[in-house]
A and B are shown apart, each in its own frame.
Chain A
Amino acid sequence: MAIVLDKSHRWRIVAAHVFLIALCVAVIFPFLMIISISLRPGNFATGSIIPEHISLEHWRFVLGLPYQAADGRLIEPDLPVLRWMYNSVKIASISALIGLTLSTTAAYAFARMKFHGKKSALTGLMLMQMFPAVLALVAIYAIFDRIGSAFPAFGIDTHAALLLAYSGGIALFIWTIKGYYETIPVEIEEAAKVDGATPWQAFRMVLLPMAVPILMVVFLQGFIGAIIEYPVASIILQQQDNLTMATGSQKFLYAQKYLWGDFAAAAILSGLPITVLFVLSQKWMISGLTAGGIKG
């Protein structure tokens, strides 16, 4: 923190708080609507933000507990929402880890090394993301159909296939991490090399610990991307028990009867792992700053 403070410091802090609170209210408002929809009896999308009657039927449905419906009958939840949640978290964590592993090493090569084809590879990575993915689905299905006939463990309707499909979406991660590496002065690694470290050791023991903030950010991005991803997952996963939250929630939306309440409860559940991860990762992002000891 700067040791010299301006006179208007106190007022600026108050103004900042006011602004942030106002923004938070505007931002949270739709989120509060989702919560209130999930607590309403029935399946209505409009209504007051604090529901007149609070009904836990949607939450009971989503958590797999039987409950009594409005007409008195016992409803046994038939959609395995908690299982979908487990699938989503599992796939998202592993996919984020794989993406992180692949992209840290590649970003190191792009940031620190010279080699043929560097510019074209970087440009290619950027341009790769431009293709409207809505139509590559036919190709992806064809690829995994073929792989599945040779190795059923990696074919259609397996989580392994989904992980493989997500492993290609690392272009943006590479660019992000590369940008961060370039802000770290290269002199420290050069000092390590003078001491006899190989490039791999300089990378693993010198650069990587200093890059922890951006690694957490990229892990979080990969995690979120995998949890909310719908098109590829809907093509590859078929059986009900294998679905993720994103694909499974669609089962609540029949064309004739949108089950808004259950859908809202499921959506809140899918947001929970991401929020928890974000809160936990704050510590890592900040500790990455104090480790390393060259910045201020």
Chain B
Amino acid sequence: MSEPSLLKRWSGPAVLVLVVLAALYLVTVMYSVGQTLLAGIMLVIVALALWVYSSERTYAYRYLFPAIGAALIFVVFPMLYTIAIGFTNYSSKNLLEFSMAERYLLDEVHQAEGPTYAFTLHPDGQEFRLRLENAESGKAFLAGPLALIGDKTLELKAEPADKVSFTVGDPVTLKDLIARQKALKALLIVLPDGGKVRLTSLREFAPVEPLFKRNADGSLVNVSDGSVLKPNMTTGFFETASGEKVQPGFQVGVGTANFVRVFTDKKFQEPFVRIFVWTVIFAALTVLFATAVGMLLAVILNWDALQFKGVYRVMLFLPYAVPGFISILVFRGLFNQNSGEINLILSAIFGIKPAWFSDPFLAKVMLLVVNTWLGFPYMMLMCMGFIKAIPSDLYEASAVAGAGPITNFVTITLPLILKPLMPILISSFAFNFNNFVLITLLTGGRPDFLDTSVPAGTTDILVSYTYRMAFQDSGQQFGLAAAISTVIFLIVAAITMVQMRVTRVVEEEGR
């Protein structure tokens, strides 16, 4: 075998070096903006990439690196972040981080003692001068000239108006004044007698001070009445001496409090088992029905002797092409008990009008029918792809042996597509276990159980039940919801591991 040319030998490493240099530049940009965590992560990724693509031992990993990297950053990391939220009290009442909540309180201002000044802004060439006049004493002061661009905080002195050689003309129009509001707000004017004033309205400067002062131990003292606010790291609020909570609240870690609540709170326990059982049944039956219909259609549409295959394929593919949320809403209209088309047809043929939405069993049937309608094109597509891999001489041989289509299917087709299909079945099960959209849009979980103290629906699955509990109960409790999501994830993962073990999906093929 001839030696590869010099260019080919060095083009790979050259590209790698260029990419690494570009990535290092990105790292410096990120660091300079202040995102140290992100810069650190990027640095680790670059180091790993360099190792993987240059070391001989990591050849296999070169193929995996981009895919696994993307999956880790954009799927696994948000997942871990969300699990971490489950250990805090993050909710609509405790929304900010501690430093932000403190900053919010420290930014609050109140009007202090001292005279207020009427304010007008006058042009001075390209710049401006501020004129402050106290109505009571009649004294006027001038400050400037100022450019009034940007909003940088600026402290400047004002001189008595009669000492400054500047003829005051007409003030600027209101429009121009409003345009420069940001720059004016950032000014702190120091008067000759030592008083400091800020802009309080478009026509007034008044002495203004921050309302709170921060003590060394982290508590905030209210300057006007002397009361003290102490941050409470257990409840996530600043509290007065009497224990009253002050908005805004901040996030604090609550350890396993959320998880304990999930497992011991009576309100959760009651319908939990029933809903869990229905969730498993719903997911399993959906996968079964959709796969059965999809596989049947894939086999039929693979039949060479059948004409118009292409037309059938497109028509049967349509449920997958139309976005789910519109199809589900249309079905809600179709299954309407009195005016829906399905009941109109059923009453014309059989004379019955089933109560799809108010009978628990019929509601479940309706859910399965709709989900099969939504799911079978995907299964059909997958089976079509895998059936194409089966060599057709197998079918020739069985035809010579006199076997019929059922034997063909059971002994040739089914075993050969089941192995590649298995992971798809497992993940379809997991998807439908958490199929929040369908339940919420079609039945909303209803009809409700009649014997629970907390609203829970007979068609609710775990995800929709917890969503109802966490987001529609009392305030939006993200921390609690994250904890429940973690529990659901662990349950589904456990079921999946069992399925994978049983179907021996991950094992190496024997050679």
Q: If A121-B64, A268-B322 touch, does A184 touch B389 (CB 8 Å cutoff)? A: yes
**Contacting chain A: which of B125-133, B159-167, B379-387?**
B379-387
Is A213 in contact with chain B by the CB < 8 A criterion?
Answer: yes
**Residues of chain A in range 53-105 having any CB-CB distance to chain B below 8 Å:** 101-103, 105
Closest to A174 in B: B67
* Cα separation A213 to B385 with both chains bound (whole Å): 6
Is B73 in contact with chain A by the CB < 8 A criterion?
Answer: yes
Is B324 in contact with chain A by the CB < 8 A criterion?
Answer: yes
Residues of B within 8 A of A209 (CB): none
Residues of B within 8 A of A267 (CB): 322-323, 326
* Cα separation A228 to B324 with both chains bound (whole Å): 7
Most buried by A among B64, B77, B426: B64
B-contact 0/1 string along A251-264, CB 8 Å cutoff = 00000000000011
Shortest Cβ distance from A63 into chain B, in angstroms? 18
Contact A33 B29 (CB under 8 A): no
* Cα separation A129 to B493 with both chains bound (whole Å): 9
Q: Which among A149, A172, A214 is the interface contact of B385 at CB below 8 angstroms?
A: A214
Q: If A16-B300, A176-B420, A274-B321 touch, does A295 touch B392 (CB 8 Å cutoff)? A: yes
Closest to B327 in A: A30
Is B290 in contact with chain A by the CB < 8 A criterion?
Answer: no
* Cα separation A191 to B322 with both chains bound (whole Å): 45
Contact A139 B81 (CB under 8 A): yes
**Contacting chain A: which of B106-114, B185-193, B336-344, B450-458?**
B336-344
Residues of B within 8 A of A5 (CB): 399
Shortest Cβ distance from B291 into chain A, in angstroms? 15
Q: If A147-B38, A176-B420, A183-B386 touch, does A46 touch B336 (CB 8 Å cutoff)? A: yes
Residues of B within 8 A of A3 (CB): 396, 399
Q: If A127-B497, A132-B434, A174-B67 touch, does A217 touch B373 (CB 8 Å cutoff)? A: no
Contact A27 B322 (CB under 8 A): no
Contact B500 A123 (CB under 8 A): yes
Contact B330 A30 (CB under 8 A): yes
Contact B75 A168 (CB under 8 A): yes
Contact B404 A6 (CB under 8 A): yes
Residues of B within 8 A of A289 (CB): 388
How many interface contacts (CB-CB < 8 Å) are there between A and B? 293
Contact B424 A27 (CB under 8 A): no
* Cα separation A196 to B395 with both chains bound (whole Å): 36
Contact B63 A227 (CB under 8 A): no
* Cα separation A173 to B356 with both chains bound (whole Å): 37
Contact A179 B467 (CB under 8 A): no
Residues of A within 8 A of B304 (CB): 1
Q: If A46-B340, A135-B485, A196-B1 touch, does A130 touch B323 (CB 8 Å cutoff)? A: no
Contact A135 B481 (CB under 8 A): yes
A-contact 0/1 string along B324-362, CB 8 Å cutoff = 111101110110100111000000000000000000000
Contact A27 B481 (CB under 8 A): no
Interface size class of B (residues with CB under 8 A): 35 or more
Q: Which among A110, A121, A167, A221 is the interface contact of B74 at CB below 8 angstroms?
A: A167
Residues of A within 8 A of B305 (CB): 1, 9, 13
Closest to A230 in B: B325
Shortest Cβ distance from B475 into chain A, in angstroms? 15
Q: Which among B64, B77, B433, B489 is the interface contact of A139 at CB below 8 angstroms?
A: B77
**Contacting chain A: which of B149-157, B242-250, B264-272, B311-319?**
B311-319
Residues of A within 8 A of B306 (CB): 13, 16-17
Contact A131 B489 (CB under 8 A): yes
**Residues of chain A in range 14-34 having any CB-CB distance to chain B below 8 Å:** 16-17, 19-20, 23-24, 27-31, 33-34
Q: If A227-B323, A279-B314 touch, does A175 touch B424 (CB 8 Å cutoff)? A: yes
Is B436 in contact with chain A by the CB < 8 A criterion?
Answer: yes
* Cα separation A17 to B312 with both chains bound (whole Å): 9
Shortest Cβ distance from B72 into chain A, in angstroms? 8
Shortest Cβ distance from B307 into chain A, in angstroms? 8
B-contact 0/1 string along A154-197, CB 8 Å cutoff = 00000000001101111110111001101110000000000010
Residues of A within 8 A of B326 (CB): 34, 249, 263-264, 267
* Cα separation A248 to B258 with both chains bound (whole Å): 36
Is B10 in contact with chain A by the CB < 8 A criterion?
Answer: no
Contact A180 B321 (CB under 8 A): no
Task: Count residues of A near B (Cβ-Cβ below 8 Å).
Answer: 110
Contact A106 B67 (CB under 8 A): yes
Contact B493 A130 (CB under 8 A): yes
Q: Which among B373, B378, B424, B489 is the interface contact of A30 at CB below 8 angstroms?
A: B373
Contact A143 B314 (CB under 8 A): no
Residues of B within 8 A of A264 (CB): 326
Q: If A102-B66, A139-B81, A149-B35 touch, does A132 touch B318 (CB 8 Å cutoff)? A: no
Contact B405 A12 (CB under 8 A): yes
Shortest Cβ distance from A92 into chain B, in angstroms? 12
Q: Which among A109, A149, A246 is the interface contact of B60 at CB below 8 angstroms?
A: A109
Residues of A within 8 A of B431 (CB): 129
Most buried by A among B319, B330, B404, B482: B330
Contact A114 B317 (CB under 8 A): no
**Residues of chain B in range 57-77 having any CB-CB distance to chain A below 8 Å:** 59-61, 63-64, 66-68, 70-77
* Cα separation A6 to B481 with both chains bound (whole Å): 60
Shortest Cβ distance from A68 into chain B, in angstroms? 26
Closest to B399 in A: A2
* Cα separation A126 to B505 with both chains bound (whole Å): 11
A-contact 0/1 string along B423-465, CB 8 Å cutoff = 1101100110110100000000000000000000000000100
Residues of A within 8 A of B482 (CB): 135
Contact B381 A217 (CB under 8 A): yes
Q: If A2-B396, A24-B316 touch, does A33 touch B35 (CB 8 Å cutoff)? A: no
Shortest Cβ distance from A204 into chain B, in angstroms? 12
B-contact 0/1 string along A265-294, CB 8 Å cutoff = 001101100110011001001001100001
Q: Which among A30, A126, A136, A167 is the interface contact of B334 at CB below 8 angstroms?
A: A30
What are the 9 A-B residue pairs with the smallest beta carbon separation, nearest first?
A: A179-B420, A168-B74, A296-B392, A139-B78, A139-B81, A2-B399, A106-B67, A109-B63, A267-B326
Sampled A-B contacts (21; CB under 8 Å) = A31-B318, A45-B333, A46-B339, A105-B66, A126-B427, A131-B79, A139-B77, A151-B26, A164-B70, A164-B74, A167-B74, A168-B74, A170-B71, A176-B424, A224-B320, A224-B321, A227-B323, A274-B320, A282-B313, A285-B384, A285-B388
A contacts, CB < 8 Å to B: 1-6, 9, 12-13, 16-17, 19-20, 23-24, 27-31, 33-34, 37, 45-46, 49, 101-103, 105-106, 108-110, 113-115, 119, 121-123, 125-136, 138-140, 142-143, 146-147, 149-151, 164-165, 167-172, 174-176, 179-180, 182-184, 196, 199, 213-214, 217, 220-221, 224, 227-228, 230, 245-246, 249, 263-264, 267-268, 270-271, 274-275, 278-279, 282, 285, 288-289, 294-296
Q: A34-B322, A169-B75 are in contact. List 8 more A-B contacts (CB 8 A).
A: A125-B71, A126-B423, A131-B489, A135-B482, A139-B79, A146-B37, A150-B29, A180-B420
